[in-house]
Amino acid sequence: MSKRNSVACTTSVVIVELTSPKKKAKVVDKQTVNVPKIFTLFNKDGRPLGWVFEGFFDGREYLKKLSNKSGSLTIVGEIEFKSFSNLKTKWLPESLIGNRLWGIIIEPAHEGVDEDGSMRLFPSDQEGVPMAWAKKIARAMMLAEVYTNIQVKERFLTKNEECDFIARCSTVSYKEAVSAVSLESVAPGLFEELI
């Protein structure tokens, strides 16, 4: 083999080199594309507990409006949502269900009713309603162009996951805790009747 042929082979290898930035094809891994998900949560007996929202960072303001205890009208993406007094939205930075989730819990009936009974309770006892509500949220978010695609799924929780979800959604905020402690510190004491 002559020197001339050896140089030609080396030159052709440099031209076809796969590590060249011009030759790389951009491949999008399907695992890295995060599609937001809504999970309707059920306990082992099939009783609905609420929902968790995975990847809903852009939709958080809409989710907060869904636990509308004031009775005012809530519209997301031209879809009207009824107000329910027993829904509570919480940010779950970590939980047994997952991390960095928004959660909406269906509180027990006695906690969501005003004294006059004027507020509406979420109809969780009717089969299919919690899943239909999750699908309605997904449609509204897509109509509002917050997301282009949302997956809606059911999830049955273990007893530990159920207890963790309820405990994390039931905790009071820092502002509520400070307010309660402040009121407690000035509460009437033993000598109130003397002064």
Q: Where are the domains of the chain?
A: 28-172
Q: State mean pLDDT over 47-70.
A: 85
pLDDT value of position 13: 40
The per-residue pLDDT for range 92-148, each reduced to its tens digit, is 999 999 999 999 999 876 554 555 556 678 888 888 999 999 999 999 999 888 889
Q: Which of 28-32, 52-56, 136-140, 161-165 has the lowest mean pLDDT?
A: 28-32
Q: Among 194, 169, 182, which residue's Cα sits nearest to residue 103?
A: 169
**The tokens 């009974």 sit on which residue?**
117
pLDDT bracket for residue 187 (50, 70, 90): low
SS3 of 15-82: HCCCCCCCCCCCCCCCCCCCCCEEEEEECCCCCEEEEEEECCCCCHHHHHHHCCCCCCCEEECCEEEC
The per-residue pLDDT for range 153-171, each reduced to its tens digit, is 999 999 999 999 998 888 6
Token pair listed for 39? 């999970």
Task: Give the DSSP letter of residue 160.
Answer: H
- Residue 41: is its pLDDT beyond 50? yes
What is the chain's length?
195
Query: Could you tell me the pTM of the whole model?
Result: 0.68
Cβ contact 104:67 at 8 Å: yes
